Amino acid sequence: MAEQLVILINEQGAVALFLILMLNCFGVPFPTSLIMLAIGSFVEQEELAFLPFFTAGLAGAAAGDQSGYLLGRMASTRLFEIAGKARWLKKALQGAEKFENRWGDAGIFLSRWLLSPLGPWINVFAGMNGYSWIRFSTWGILGEAVWVAGYMGLGLVFSKSVQMVSDLLGNVTWLILSVLAALLLGWKLISNLTRKKQRDSE
C-alpha cells in the first residue's frame, strides 16, 4: 500500500499527502511513517520540495486530530451509548482515558509521534470529556510537527536505506513501550508492597 500511496503523492502533490495524513489521524491505518520517510528521500534527491510537503503533512495531521476531537465533542452522548454496547470501543476509550489521565498534556504530545496508535482515540476521548481545545491543539500541533519533521528528516539523511530505517524505528518503538510497561508494573508492585507493610505495622 505504501508504494501506491507514494505514487499517488508524486502524481497529485502535497494535497494528496494532506488527505492521507488527515485520514490516518482520524483512524484510517495508512503506513504514514514509511510514506514520510519516502518523501524525505525524494526531497534529498531533489524530486520534491521540503517546505510544501512539510506544511501539507503538518496541516493534514492537525486536521485529522481536530476532526477526531470535534467528533468526540459533538457526539459524546451517542459515543458513550455505543461504548456501553460495543466492547471494542469501550476498551479503546478506556485505554485512552487511562493514558490521558496519567500523562495529561504530555500524553497528547507523545501520542502524536512516539505512541501514535493511541492518537485517534486520545483525540476522541479529549473531545468527549471537554478537554481544553487550546491545550489540545497546542500540544497536538507541536507533537505532529516533531513527527512530520522527524520522519522527513530521517528520509533525508538515510535516503538510500528508507525501508531499513522504517523497520528499525518500529523495533525501537516496541522497545520503548516494553520499558515503559515494565517500569509501570514495577512501580505498582512497589506501591502495593509499601501499602501492605504499612497495614501490617498498624
> Tens of pLDDT along 72-97?
999 988 888 888 888 888 888 888 88
Instruction: Please tell me the predicted confidence (pLDDT) of residue 127.
Output: 93
The confidence band for 172, taking pLDDT boundaries of 50, 70 and 90, is very low
Instruction: Please tell me the predicted confidence (pLDDT) of residue 67.
Output: 95
- 80 grid coordinates: 458513550
The confidence band for 186, taking pLDDT boundaries of 50, 70 and 90, is low
Whether this model's pTM surpasses 0.85: no
Average pLDDT, rounded, for the chain: 83
- Identify the burial level of 169 via C-beta atoms within 10 angstroms of its C-beta, where 0-12 means exposed, 13-18 middle and 19 or more buried: middle
The confidence band for 200, taking pLDDT boundaries of 50, 70 and 90, is low
Q: Is the model more confident about 52 or about 10? A: 52
C-beta separation of 127 from 9 below 8 A? no
DSSP label of 27: T
- 72 grid coordinates: 468526540
C-beta separation of 41 from 9 below 8 A? no
Handedness of CA 142, 102, 176, 61 (dihedral sign): negative
- 185 grid coordinates: 508494573
Q: How far apart are CA 134 and CA 136, in angstroms?
A: 5
Residue 162 has pLDDT above 90, yes or no: no
Q: How far apart are CA 194 and CA 150, in angstroms?
A: 42
Residue 141 has pLDDT above 90, yes or no: yes
- 37 grid coordinates: 520517510
